[in-house]
Amino acid sequence: MDDVVYMDIGKIITNPKGVSSTFVVLTVAVEFKKLNEDSKELKDLVDDKHKVKEEEPVAKKIMANIKSAINDFVGGMTVEELQSKRLSLKTC
């Protein structure tokens, strides 16, 4: 599967909606498929093991956007909502 790229986002620690004393810890990784094999930017972004080079500026921007979206998502849910969706969140 040479066209699949892996990006480790890392741990995200945030609070659910309305509970500042409770923390949620998420470990996030993303796999995506390369749509344009000839893209120079993509070639520069991915190493020989099909992993995103996290030190690249575009990778940092992607990770920041993903972390922000997840913080917004989790911050908009109560503890009960998060617990009820726990199994489905593992593979989203």
pLDDT digits (tens, 9 = 90+) for 7-59: 899 899 999 998 889 898 888 888 888 777 777 777 778 888 888 888 888 88
Q: Is the pLDDT of residue 83 over 80?
A: yes
Global pTM value: 0.74
Q: Is the pLDDT of residue 72 over 60?
A: yes
What is the distance between the alpha carbons of residues 51 and 56, in angstroms, rounded to a whole number? 12
